[in-house]
Amino acid sequence: MDKTGSTADVEQSKGFLEGGNHTSTPLSRHENEDDHPPADGGTRAWLVMLGSFFCNGILFGVINSYGVMYNEYHDDLNAQGISDAAAKASLPGSLAMGMTFFISPVSGILTDYIGIRKTTFFGGLIASCGMLLSSFCTKNVTLFCITFGIMYGLGGALAYTPSLAVLGHYFKRYLGIVNGIVTAGSSVFTMIMPYVLKSLVKHFGLVWTLRALAVFASLIMVVATLFKPVKKSMSIRKVSVKDVFNISVLTNMKYIIWTSVLGLCLFGYLVPSVYMMKFVELNFPTGLDSNLPVICIGVTSGISRLVFGWLVDRINVNKILLQQLALFTLGILTILLAYSVNVFPLLLFICLGMGVTDGCFISLIGPIAFELCGRDGGAQAIGFLLGVASIPLTLGPYVAGLIFEMQNDLTLPFIIAGVNPVLVSFGLLAIRCVKKREVRHDEVQHPLSSNLDTQRTAEI
C-alpha cells in the first residue's frame, strides 16, 4: 500500500463526501444558498490550494517517512538495553497514523463547530508541540509514544480535514483537479522527506531532527491563516445528534461487512513501510538507496489513484469486487517482498506493483462508501471506517516488531502481513449474500460521477 499517501486519500474522500451533509444541518434553506459562488481561480484561491497541498505534505510526509527515524530510534533503544526494541521503536509511527484515522470523525464535526481556520490552527499547534516535546522524551518509550504518536497524530487529524473542506469554498468547476493536486502533496513530500530526514539525523542526531520537524509542523499554523471560508454562514454550524451519530450507517449490513473485512485486512498495511528501510539494510549490499522502494510505491500509487478514480466514474464496474482483487494482489506482492533478498531490481519491481494495487484500493473507498450508504451516510461511513482501521493499523507494526525482535529477520513479518489480506479479502464476497437495501429518494446510491460531483459541490 502506499503508506506515502494512503491516509491522505482516504481523508480526501471523507472531506469531499462531507459536502453532501451540509443540507441536513439545522441551517435554514436561504443560509445554504450559494450567495458567494466559488471563484475557481484568483490569487487567494490558488494560495488556498497551495496551503492545503503543503498541509497535506507536511503532515503525512513526516508520518510516511517514519522508517528513517525508526532505524535511529531502534539503535538508540538497543544501546539503552531496552527489551523488544524493534516493536517499541515502531509503535510511535504506527500510533501517529492510527490516531490520524481514529480522530478523523471528530475532526469533521469540530470543523463544522468552531470553523475551518481555528480547527486547522489548533491542529498545527498540537502537532508542533507534540513533535517538540518528543525531542525531550527519546529515552522514555511511553512518553515518546504519547508526544510523537498520539499528539502528532491528533494534530494531524484536526489540521487535515479542514484543509480539504476549505477547497469547496474556492473551487467548483475545478474542484476535482484541485483535490487531485492537494492529495499529491503527501506523495511529493514523502518522496523528498526520507532524504531530508536522513541528512538531519546523520548530521544533527534524532533529538535535533525532531526539533527541526517541530518548526516544520508549525508552518501549518501559518497556512491556517489562508483558510478563510467564503460563505461565512457555513463556517460554523450547529451540530445535532444526527450529525454526530448516523444510526442508518451502523444498521447497514453490507457496510458492516465491508468495514469489518477492510479493518482486518489493514492489520499488515503499515508493516512494509515501517520496516522497508530496515529490510534493505539487512538483506542488500551496502551503498544501495534504501529510500527507492518507498519512492517507487509512492509514484505508482499516485498515478494509480488518478487512473482508477477516473475509470470508476466512467465505467460500470463492480467496485467491491475490484477492491477485493486489489487487496488480494497487494497481499501477494507483500509476501513476495520476503523473497526479493539480494535482488534489488526485483524488490523495486514488486514495490511498483504494490503502488498500483494500493492506489486502486484507496481510490475505491469513497465511491464504495457512498454507494453502500448513500449521500447522507457517506461521510460518516468513511469516518467510522477510519476509526475501525486505526486499531489494526496501530497493532500491525508492533506485532511485526515483536516477531522481528525474536528472529532478527523480516521474512515472517512480511509473509504474515501479506497472507492476512489474501485470505481475509474473500470476506467481501459475503456482501453478495445480503439483500439490497430499499433506498429512499433522498439517498441516491449511484457511483460518483462528474454530474453528481458538480451537484454535491454546489451544496457545499
What's the confidence (pLDDT) of residue 91? 83
- Side-chain half-sphere of 269: how many Cα atoms within 13 Å? 32
What's the pLDDT at 108?
Answer: 64
Distance of CA 319 to the CA centre of its chain: 20
Report the alpha-carbon distance of residue 322 to residue 447 in Å, rounded. Answer: 14
* C-alpha span between 80 and 74 (Å, rounded): 10
Residues sharing a CB contact under 8 Å with residue 64, sequence separation 6 or more, in sequence order = 3, 4, 5, 186, 190, 193, 273, 294, 298
**Which residues of the chain fall short of a pLDDT of 50?**
1-2, 4, 7-9, 11-35, 233-236, 438-460
Q: CA quadruple 395, 398, 402, 407: dihedral positive or negative?
A: positive
User: Rg of the chain over CA atoms, in angstroms?
Assistant: 21
CA-CA distances (angstroms) from residue 22 to 87, 333, 393? 43, 41, 30
The answer to whether 64 and 3 are in contact (CB under 8 A) is yes
Q: Quote the CA–CA distance of 397 and 87 in Å, as a whole number.
A: 7
The residue among 216, 197, 220 whose CA lies nearest residue 64 is 197
Longest dimension (CA), the chain: 66
Chain segment 360-401, per-residue pLDDT in tens:
887 777 678 778 877 566 556 766 787 788 888 888 888 888
Question: d(Cα 165, Cα 374) in Å, to the nearest integer?
Answer: 19
Q: What is the DSSP letter of 285?
A: -
- The pLDDT, as a whole number, for residue 379 is 56
Which residue in 268, 275, 354, 377 sits closest to 67, CA to CA? 275
- CA 290 from chain centre, in angstroms, equals 23
Task: Answer yes or no: are the C-beta atoms of 74 and 67 closer than 8 Å.
Answer: no
User: How many angstroms separate the first and last alpha carbons of the chain?
Assistant: 31
Q: Could you read off the pLDDT of 114-125 as tens digits, one per residue?
A: 778 888 899 999
- What are the helix and strand counts (H, E) for the chain? 20, 0
The answer to whether 161 and 111 are in contact (CB under 8 A) is yes
Look at residue 25 in the predicted model and tell me its pLDDT. 39
DSSP string, 400-442: HHHHHHHHS-SHHHHHHHHHHHHHHGGGGGGGGGSPPPPPPTT
CB 432: neighbour CB atoms within 10 A? 11
CA-to-CA dists, residue 278 to 69, 90, 282, 442, angstroms? 11, 11, 6, 51
pLDDT at 443: 44
| pLDDT value for 353 | 94
In angstroms, how far is CA 252 from the centroid of its own chain? 24
- The answer to whether the CB of 189 falls within 8 A of the CB of 61 is yes
Residue 331 burial (CB < 10 Å; 0-12/13-18/19+)? buried
Residue given cell 460531483 in the structure block: 453
Q: Which long-range CB contacts under 8 A does 453-456 form with residues at least 24 apart?
A: 453/175, 453/176, 454/172, 456/16, 456/17, 456/19, 456/20, 456/375
